[in-house]
């Protein structure tokens, strides 16, 4: 986050008007951008409306721009952003090839018929999403607005300080939320308000994750299996832009709930190598098109100590075989 905000609520010679109740605001967004970016822009429109009672109009052609102008897009996915970079109107030197970085910049004359505009540009999908949500937070929409019923303070207008405001790569690449020991409190609440730990619930988790500029999630695991409880869970995670993983005792993207359902033989690689290999392989195959971090190693069944291999040399040989297989 920036130590000093770039948002102001009164006009001055050092800022640019972005939102005002007296004028329309257009947001220009390429239809070729990531679906997750397009979804986040819809959140941004709603956030702006909460604060100002003005709902920005989304357009896809610069000829359709009216009123104040905001341009949002990802380098390499938005023709408009790429054009502004090529014309040296947008400072993206610190974005090219970077991870989850963004720039928020005011520019003059982005197009012949537009005097000024605000640009939110990202280095990649989450970079753009983080830039979008950074603006939302700066105008007073808390990442916790839904989970903690956080109210917003109303303003008639929003201005952005002239210049370039940047956020670079995070110091921790993967950071997020683990729904650990979710029973009984969260589990009961979820099953009261939703069918179960399905995509309707996880959408709220994923939005919070991204608003907090996090990117990673370990799902509920006691009585659930993220990938099989709802076939849309993994798809929605990818759509939002959240990287999925499993906990320390759930290797190869197979939640412990999967083993409860599909268990065949002992959870012992020395005795059940063929079936466990197949079990883990299926976990990787079903997630091959999604961003994932794969847990390696092997704990005992349900996070117990390993059983069946008591001598340290035998344990070591077993672990060596496990790692060789997971490197294939």
CA distance 64 to 165: 27
Tell me the average pLDDT across 153-175.
Answer: 97
Quick one: tokens of 162? Answer: 């002239």
Q: What is the dihedral of CA 229, 235, 239, 241, to 10 degrees?
A: 70
- pLDDT of 141 reads 98
pLDDT at 328: 58
* Per-residue confidence (pLDDT) for residue 302, from 0 to 100: 74
Q: What separation in angstroms does the CA of 21 have from each of 5, 188, 262?
A: 22, 43, 58
Among 108-122, 145-159, 306-320, the minimum mean pLDDT is found in 306-320
Residue 1 pLDDT grade (very low, low, confident, very high; cuts 50, 70, 90): very low
Q: What pLDDT digit, counting tens, does each position of 188-221 carry?
A: 999 999 999 999 999 999 999 999 999 999 999 8
Residue 127's pLDDT band (cuts 50, 70, 90): very high
- pLDDT tens figures, 168-177: 999 999 999 9
How far, rounded to the nearest angstrom, does the alpha carbon of residue 258 sit from its chain's CA centroid? Answer: 25
pLDDT(288) > 70? yes
Q: Mind listing the pLDDT tens digit for each residue in 81-111?
A: 999 999 999 989 899 999 999 999 999 999 9
pLDDT of residue 125 exceeding 60, the answer is yes
Place of tokens 């650990």: 180
Contact 226, 238 (CB under 8 A): no
pLDDT at 324 over 70: no
The CA distance from 34 to 16, in Å, is 28
Q: Mean pLDDT of all residues in the chain?
A: 92
- List domains and CATH numbers for the chain: 7-167 (3.30.379.10), 176-326 (3.20.20.520)
What are the angstrom distances between the C-alpha of 131 and each of 19, 113, 140, 216?
Answer: 17, 26, 15, 17
Number of separate helices (H) and strands (E) present in the chain = 10, 13
HSE-up of 219 (CA within 13 Å, CB side)?
Answer: 32
């Amino acid at each position: 986050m920036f130590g000093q905000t770039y948002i102001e609520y009164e006009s001055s010679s050092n800022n640019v008007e972005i939102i005002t109740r007296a004028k329309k605001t257009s947001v220009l967004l390429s239809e070729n951008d990531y679906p997750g970016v397009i979804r986040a822009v819809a959140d941004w429109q709603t956030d702006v409306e909460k604060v100002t009672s003005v709902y920005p109009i989304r357009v896809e052609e610069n000829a359709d721009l009216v009123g104040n102008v905001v341009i949002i897009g990802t380098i390499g996915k938005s023709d408009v952003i790429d054009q502004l970079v090529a014309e040296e109107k947008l400072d993206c030197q610190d974005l090219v090839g970077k991870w989850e970085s963004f720039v928020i910049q005011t520019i003059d004359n982005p197009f012949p018929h537009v005097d000024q505009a605000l640009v939110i540009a990202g280095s990649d999908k989450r970079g753009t999403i983080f830039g979008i949500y950074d603006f939302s937070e700066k105008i007073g929409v808390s990442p916790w607005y839904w989970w903690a019923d956080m109210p917003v303070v109303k303003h008639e207008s929003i201005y952005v300080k002239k210049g370039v405001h940047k956020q670079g790569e995070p110091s921790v690449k993967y950071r997020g939320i683990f729904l650990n020991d979710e029973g009984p409190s969260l589990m009961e609440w979820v099953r009261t308000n939703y069918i179960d730990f399905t995509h309707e619930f996880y959408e709220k988790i994923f939005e919070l994750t991204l608003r907090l500029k996090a990117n990673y999630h370990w799902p509920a695991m006691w009585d659930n299996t993220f990938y099989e409880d709802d076939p849309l869970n993994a798809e929605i995670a990818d759509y939002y832009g959240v990287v999925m993983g499993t906990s320390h005792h759930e290797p190869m993207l197979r939640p412990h709930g999967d083993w409860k359902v599909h268990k065949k033989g002992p959870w012992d690689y020395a005795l059940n190598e063929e079936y466990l290999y197949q079990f883990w392989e299926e976990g990787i195959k079903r997630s091959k098109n999604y961003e994932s971090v794969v847990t390696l190693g092997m704990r005992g069944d349900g996070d117990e100590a390993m059983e069946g291999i008591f001598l340290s040399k035998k344990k070591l040989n077993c672990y060596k075989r496990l790692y060789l297989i997971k490197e294939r």
